[in-house]
């Protein structure tokens, strides 16, 4: 009889611990479930201006990296780590996409009536269009050593422009998000 009581006592003690563990896990689950009523409201970007400048930040960062890539490649040619034919083959595949991306971004600013952003981008767009019209936008392997200084200077100017415009677009994006949040 004593043995049966001790076994019964163990069963009830074990069942009590299991019952307590279930209660604790249920309580924990109730506290940790994420229901929409207890979450703070999530605000989406609803302003077209904020989306436009977010796109401009991403695109200007990509153009910034391509400009750095051009400078590195010109430096490699200058130090004789790369031959002119390989350099021209590598860089010519990025010239037109860079110009098209910049033209698309400038057209977006024009279509959305962002006058200041459009006027900031218009001189570089005009320069790129002039190069394409005169058919001297591609790099020529036979003339690259003669014009290397000019190409490096152009790449540094583009790097500076894209860097300034990156921070301008970032500022305008933050300004659009803050004005949207306060409205």
Look at the block and give the residue holding tokens 């409205």.
183
Together in a domain, 175 and 107: yes
Together in a domain, 147 and 107: yes
Q: What is the pLDDT of residues 36-77, one digit of tens each?
A: 565 555 566 667 899 999 999 999 999 999 999 999 999 999
Together in a domain, 53 and 38: no
Contact 166, 66 (CB under 8 A): no
Together in a domain, 7 and 79: no
Together in a domain, 16 and 77: no
Overall domain count for the chain: 2
Expressed as residue numbers, the domain containing 94 is 48-182
Q: What is the pLDDT of residues 67-113, one digit of tens each?
A: 999 999 999 999 989 999 999 999 999 999 999 999 999 999 999 99
Together in a domain, 33 and 89: no
Together in a domain, 114 and 166: yes
């Amino acid at each position: 009889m004593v043995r049966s009581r001790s076994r019964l006592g163990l069963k009830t003690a074990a069942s009590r611990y299991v019952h307590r563990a279930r209660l604790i896990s249920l309580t924990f689950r109730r506290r940790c479930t994420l229901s929409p009523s207890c979450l703070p409201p999530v605000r989406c970007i609803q302003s077209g201006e904020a989306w436009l400048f977010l796109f401009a930040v991403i695109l200007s960062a990509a153009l910034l990296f391509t400009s750095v890539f051009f400078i590195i490649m010109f430096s490699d040619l200058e130090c004789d780590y790369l031959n002119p034919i390989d350099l021209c083959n590598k860089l010519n595949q990025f010239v037109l996409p860079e110009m098209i991306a910049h033209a698309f971004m400038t057209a977006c600013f024009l279509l959305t009536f962002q006058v200041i952003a459009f006027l900031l981008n218009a001189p570089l767009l005009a320069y790129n269009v002039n190069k394409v019209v005169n058919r001297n936008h591609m790099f020529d392997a036979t003339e690259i050593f003669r014009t290397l200084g000019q190409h490096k200077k152009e790449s540094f100017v583009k790097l500076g422009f894209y860097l300034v415009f990156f921070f301008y677009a970032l500022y305008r994006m933050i300004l659009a998000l803050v004005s949207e949040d306060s409205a």
